[in-house]
A and B are shown apart, each in its own frame.
Chain A
Amino acid sequence: MSESTPTPAFKASHASRMVTLSLHAFTQLVRMKVFYFLAVFAVIVIGSNFFDMAQHQGPESVGANVLRNIKSWSLGAMALFAVVISIVATALLLPRDIEDRTLYTVLAKPVPRIDYLVGRLMGVLLLVFVSLAVMDLLMVAALHLRTGMVMEMQEKMAVGRGWPEEAIQSLKQETLASGVNWQLQAAVLAIFLKVAVMAAICLSVSTFSTSTLFTTVVSFLIFFIGHFQADALDFYLKGVEAGTSTFSQYLALGFSLFIPNFQLFNVVDGLVQNQPITLLMVGKLVMMACYYVLLYTLLAWWIFSDKEV
């Protein structure tokens, strides 16, 4: 037997262990058949095609609703699905490892706990990324097809009404602009960033909770607080006297150091109203997301490093 050969010392790098763990988490989630939800998404995208209110006005408004509907329904569904997937998947991994005692088998290998945590987080993010990419593809395909159809209709109608060539061209441009474009991709990126922050928060909750249910509930709670924090603070700031406003500004700042303002990631609504997303906005969101992901990963590490499994 080859057993008696002298034993070489193997050593994995942090990166390779993290990749192994994240691919493992990804496989685990995929084999739980999470991707079935994509069928639901496809139904939503197709369904959003039919919410066209009959309009008998000029060519400029024909089909504009359809395009807007496809965008707002798809992006809305993407945001919802992505958040649900990331929270549920993250909440599932660590508590289940503890419950099934599979965590022993991993941590009994030379695996630093930070590698374990980051690997799990990366696995969930990979899952979210792939889901978003597939949904994005579906949305773009639907939008592209539909834009073509709308333009054809508009042209026919405009020609029928004897519009000048110039006006037809500019109408076409306008329709194209509200079809597939890079702004949409920026909106999807914003969804991904928001969900990444949420997954990191959920990870740190799961390090001290003992059950999937608790983790899920608390994470959704934080998610909602993150959405309403801006409004609540606004309300509070309006209520206080002008003299104490520096104090309340610090309070607001302190609060936002820990609880992200998820409202800022909601570029979707503006986009559907054809408000452009600037590069600066995207940059800011990326920075913000990095900060919170780092913060919550470190927090998770801090709790998890002393945890007895």
Chain B
Amino acid sequence: MATGLTRFGRRMRWVPSVCNGRQFSTSFCDKDHNPPAKSFNLYTAINQALHIALETDSRAYVFGEDVGFGGVFRCTTGLADRFGKTRVFNTPLCEQGIVGFAIGLAAMGNRAIAEIQFADYIFPAFDQLVNEAAKFRYRSGNQFNCGGLTVRAPYGAVGHGALYHSQSPEAFFCHVPGLKVVIPRSPREAKGLLLSSIRDPNPVVFFEPKWLYRLSVEEVPEHDYMLPLSEAQVIREGSDITLVGWGAQLSIIEQACIDAEKEGISCELIDLKTLIPWDKETVEASVRKTGRLLISHEAPVTGGFGAEIAASIVERCFLRLEAPVARVCGLDTPFPLVFEPLYMPTKNKVLDSIKSTVNY
């Protein structure tokens, strides 16, 4: 039985897509000038970004549970050796304390890069993020802020993580003006977005798709580059339906796209990248072209960020829509143990929904 399950939802290697749609603000998409790029997996790309962040800013710090030893997912490997134990260090097991501490550190003008071991464990720190980090600037009339704060946390399914190693809590943080929420889909994206998040003058929660840490491999430029926040990217152009996602789910949606195209349905695929503040214009422009929208994420459908996208796009494109906005998401249950394949917004579910939306 267990082997049969792998037919669902297994992530493929991310297939690098054509660099069309919006341009990156960085040099690696600049076709005249191609700096060296080697293949790296996602955790190595994150590791590179952290090296660069610490290298380029002597006031940057990395800390979290077991981070000094490289962390559970090896993202912080080698940092303590390179930058010393005063800049890269282990914390006790106390998420609320970690994030509160990070906010204070950032308030003194430092870049505090805190790791929460799994996104499932970010909730003890929820209050610090929602009530302290997000509102510090606003309520002090811009005297203080913790803009140097970045909280990294691995999120999402891994195939067998069960209730507390699989959750996708991004929507909770998308309800908090003052925070930014960023989720990369691949190694190259992860490196550029993480560097932007670290250097952004606002507190950022950066969720990393843990399923892709080792699985996703692509060419990653070795130099220091940033990818813009709050800019979505059209990673596949099409004319019949717009598909929006982020993080690990994009590779699932892309597989569904490829299958749909075999059946003559042309899909436009958008990686949202930053969930708040999000790039409504790119999604709107696409939906104006296709007339249909499908959003897919792993988190439960009710109250997921897909709901916000759906509402905004209906407001903006009501008369242009030819079908109800579709959402293919996690089910409204806790993240299940053996029923993960059922719970997940699998390729077949996405494909099915693409077809019914197009044939509405």
Q: Do A and B come from one complex?
A: no
| A binding-site residues for B, Cβ under 8 Å | none
| B binding-site residues for A, Cβ under 8 Å | none
